[in-house]
Structure formats: C-alpha cells, structure tokens
Structure 1
Amino acid sequence: MPVKKAKRSDLLAKDVAALVCPYNALGGIPMLACEKLGIPVLAVKENSTILRVTKERLGLKNIVKVKTYDDAVKLLKKMGRR
C-alpha cells in the first residue's frame, strides 16, 4: 500500500510535545513511537488499568512518572514555557 501524503489537517509527530497516558499502559504504538522519537511520555500513576506494561518492564527511558492528571497538566504547562 503506498504511503499517503500528509494533509494540513493531519497531526504529525513534530506537532506532539508530549503524550499523557496511564502508568501501566505504556506498550501501545503511540507510547513506543514517542520513545523512539524522543517525545516525553507522562505516565499517570492514579490511572490504573488491568495492564502491567510499565517503564521498568519495557526498559523505556523517556517516561516521566506523575501522580495525578493535575500533576501532568502542571508539568505540561512548565514544558510549554521553554
């Protein structure tokens, strides 16, 4: 299947400053792509899932653990000021 050319409305990796997700659900394509591209992933500990896919289990380095979504928002705001 040929690769489609990106449209103006498409969200590209260069448009993503960070990704927020549950702490133990880090094995999805978006999280792994962020790891590969050096995009920070904020892993929220208060959001528990039945998965056990953590930073430690996968050996991921670009993961920032935060306690709550409020903490994630505060960190995102700080990151936006850089």
Structure 2
Amino acid sequence: MKVTNLMEQIVEDVMEEHWKNLKIECTCQLCKNDILAVTLNALSPRYVAHDKGRVIVKARMMDEQMQADVLREIARAANIVSAKPSHE
C-alpha cells in the first residue's frame, strides 16, 4: 500500500452524501474539484501507510465533531466556489 491522504476520500464521501444540501448553482466536475481542493487545503491531512492506519483514521471519523468540521469546511468551500467559479 502506498502512502495515502485518507482525508481526500473522507471529504469526497461527505460531499457525495450532502451534495444536494449545498445549493450550488453549478454542479460540473470542475466546480466539484475546486470545492474538494479548497476543502482539503483547509483540513489537516490524514496520511496512512497501511491498513491499520486506515482503520484508526476511519474510527476517528465516527466522531460527530470531526464529521461536523469536515461538513463545515465543505460548505465554506462551496460558498467560495459558487461566488467565483473558475469558469464562465
């Protein structure tokens, strides 16, 4: 297993789960990627190098505060991207 930032998968999963609630005008892949990038830059990475690390990080994500923090940053990023999309 290579070293992976597990936070990327976590943010993608939370975005997918709550996408309809974000109320974003543009839902193109470019805007989704911009939201993902802005969110990941605001959150601490969670690098793992083996399956044991993956299990530990996933267990920590069960914490309601951690989930709320990720969702808050996604909503903040969605507002930023919606206000100034990187395309016409």
TM range (shorter): under 0.3
Q: Which has the higher helix share?
A: 2
Q: Which has the higher strand share?
A: 1
TM superposition score normalised by structure 1: 0.25
Higher relative contact order (CA 8 A, sep 6+): 2
